[in-house]
Amino acid sequence: MLLAKSFELQLNLKTLEEAAGAKSRTWLQLKADITGKEVVSLAVSECGCLGAAILAGVGIGEYSSVDEAVELLVAEVDLFQPNMDMYEQYAERFAIYSELYPALRDVTHKNMTLRGGIEEKTESLYRLLQ
């Protein structure tokens, strides 16, 4: 299971690198088109860290509420509106994509049950890192 998740992580990281990460205008527009929802880009690239800082600031009383901290600290840069024609096209493709996991589940399970090779070494490494 860890090996499969790591492979997925590698694919996602490669995609991010190729798309220039969270600041890529193309990728942000694609997210809007695929989800059919507005996507906002922020001035910071590490939104998780900003969120943690906001919660910490509220926790120590620097801000009276999360809403106040967001108002003061979060700066929106761009708003990406979905192209609904593209959304409809992506929805068709997503329906097909959604069928892939159930279709490949048995093959993936067989692959993950192979023991004694790379999977076992990966699990041993994982245990060492914990």
Checking if the pLDDT of 22 tops 70, the result is no
Angle at 118 between CA 115 and CA 120, to 5 degrees: 50
61 and 91 housed in the same domain:
no
23 with 47, same domain: the answer is no
Tell me, what's the pLDDT at 111? 72
Is residue 32 located within the same domain as residue 51?
Answer: no
Same domain, 70 and 19: no
Tell me: do 124 and 85 sit in the same domain: yes
**Other beta carbons less than 10 A from residue 45's beta carbon:** 11
Q: Which of 31, 72, 29 is nearest to 50 (CA)?
A: 72
Whether residues 69 and 8 share a domain: the answer is no
One domain, residues 34 and 86: yes
Beta-bridged to residue 76, according to DSSP, are 42
Q: 39: which 2 tokens?
A: 């996507």
pLDDT digit string, tens, across residues 38-54 = 999 989 878 889 999 99
Selection from 46, 41, 68 nearest residue 57 by Cα: 68
Provide the whole-model pTM: 0.60
Q: What is the pLDDT of residue 98?
A: 85
Domains held by the chain: number:
2
Based on the fold, state whether residues 34 and 85 are members of the same structural domain.
yes
pLDDT at residue 109 in the model: 72
Give per-residue pLDDT as tens, 31-40: 899 999 999 9
Q: List helix spans (H) across the chain.
A: 2-18, 25-35, 47-59, 66-73, 84-113, 118-129
pLDDT tens column, 67-103: 999 999 999 999 999 999 999 999 999 999 888 878 8
Q: Which domain holds residue 67?
A: 43-75
Does 51 lie in the same domain as 112?
A: no
